[in-house]
Amino acid sequence: MAATEILNRADIVKAPQVRLAPQPEKPSLIGLLRDDIAKLLAEKGVPERQVKMRVSQLWHWLYVRGVSDFDEMSNVSKDMREMLKEHFTIARPEIVEEQVSGDGTRKWLLRFPPRGAGRPVEIETVYIPEEGRGTLCISSQVGCTLTCSFCHTGTQKLVRNLTAEEILSQLLLARDRLGDFPERDTPQGAIVPAEGRKITNIVMMGMGEPLYNFENVKTALLIASDGDGLSLSKRRITLSTSGIVPEIYRTGEEIGVMLAISLHAVRDDLRDMLVPINKKYPLKQLMEACRAYPGLSNARRITFEYVMLKDVNDSLEDAKELVKLLKGIPAKINLIPFNPWPGTNYQCSDWEQIEKFADFINQAGYASPIRTPRGRDILAACGQLKSESERMRKVDRLAFEAMMIANHGED
């Protein structure tokens, strides 16, 4: 299909050029834990006896109602709102571009301030609607330090970590754009239905390695799963890692969300090449960390991502070794047909071979769904959008991203 035909099928929205006034002196209240907000309010003169109540009000407006303007906080006094506007911000990131696929997939290119990077930075957030659920893919870094040989994002050098505010803002903005917050005039304390939400699951599978930005990711996910705010179940939050073993233990102990492992190979020599972090944390250590992950059961499994590369990792011998490697770990294996990108030396496995691979794993007792492409028509993919010509060549890469995102966490 010609690129022009593909573009005609997509709804690509250039965001209005309303830029946020730079206010580096104003810290954001988004992404702060309650104790941190309380400390800031006390420093600005809020009486000690009021601090807890004010924190509760702010938390409600930020994470239940989803407001991004202090003036919308109707049960906060005018003087208090003026103080908040003077000293803090709760503004959303700038939307550079919004793209909507014919199948409902949405992609936002967001811009954040430099914060030490020397220039404003841009990241991507992707929403995948599925039957009975909607999954949001969130980025944790600008670029990536890992150099996985099959991954295009890995060719982009790390610019900086995202803050907890910037990680959480991706969820808040997506809910804004999808109309996924309740009516803002609903009184505080009213029961807000949990059903019918467009974003039911989130996955830390966007740009970057989440466990190399552990503290900011931890804070953002603890706020996202807080029962008095955004209230996402930890079983509906999946963190994907290439295998940073020490932080896998910390993730289980300190965050407690679902885990996904970018595996892609069953032998150290091959994984050293495909996922170079394996040289530091080889398969034996990685599998030990997975087996020790808290709360594993048939209902709470680790997802192992496995990209199918022709004549590289797709033989039946690889399938046998995969079953042996995962023995004793409640697991689901996502088989991902590889989508080539400019400059790659890899090819996708033949479909017949993928099916044979999947059949063998299924017969061994593991679920092994084969991901199907989504959102091809919006020319989107992991990593920053670059020139128009490169974007035209990226058309097949959203398939890889969407297949990675889909069907993670509890239904």
CATH number for 340: 3.20.20.70
**Tokens representing residue 220 in the block:** 């953002």
pLDDT of residue 101: 83
**Last residue of one domain, picked from the residues 69, 91, 113:** 91
| Same-domain status, 50 and 116 | no
User: Per the domain annotation, does 389 fall within a domain?
Assistant: no
User: Per the domain annotation, does 113 fall within a domain?
Assistant: yes
DSSP strand pairing (201-204 vs 237-241): parallel
Question: Is the model's pLDDT at 179 over the cut of 60?
Answer: yes
| Same-domain status, 108 and 180 | yes
User: Per the domain annotation, does 346 fall within a domain?
Assistant: yes
Angle at which helices 316-325 and 351-363 pack, to 10 degrees? 30
pLDDT of residue 388: 34
> pLDDT confidence of 263, banded at 50, 70, 90?
very high
Annotated binding site: 144, 148, 151, 208-209, 240, 262-264, 339
User: Per the domain annotation, does 411 fall within a domain?
Assistant: no
In terms of average pLDDT, the best of 9-13, 159-163, 213-217, 372-376 is: 213-217
For residues 211, 212, 218 and 220, what is the CA-based torsion angle, rounded to 10 degrees?
A: -110
| Same-domain status, 45 and 117 | no
For residues 156, 157, 160 and 164, what is the CA-based torsion angle, rounded to 10 degrees?
A: 40
Cβ neighbors of 292 (< 8 A, separation 6 or more) are 249, 252
> Active-site positions?
124, 382
| Same-domain status, 132 and 232 | yes
User: Per the domain annotation, does 6 fall within a domain?
Assistant: no
| Same-domain status, 298 and 150 | yes
Question: Is the model's pLDDT at 369 over the cut of 60?
Answer: yes
| Same-domain status, 110 and 70 | no
| Same-domain status, 50 and 170 | no
| Same-domain status, 101 and 49 | no
Query: Model-level pTM?
Result: 0.84
Higher per-residue pLDDT: 1 or 121:
121
In terms of average pLDDT, the best of 102-106, 123-127, 186-190 is: 123-127
| Same-domain status, 203 and 188 | yes
| Same-domain status, 101 and 69 | no
> pLDDT confidence of 39, banded at 50, 70, 90?
very high
List the domain range (segments joined by +) for residue 240: 94-378
In terms of average pLDDT, the best of 104-113, 147-156, 161-170, 203-212 is: 161-170
Annotated binding site for S-adenosyl-L-methionine: 208-209, 240, 262-264, 339
In terms of average pLDDT, the best of 99-103, 258-262, 272-276, 398-402 is: 258-262
User: Per the domain annotation, does 201 fall within a domain?
Assistant: yes
Q: How many domains does the chain have?
A: 2
User: Per the domain annotation, does 409 fall within a domain?
Assistant: no
Question: Is the model's pLDDT at 57 over the cut of 80?
Answer: yes
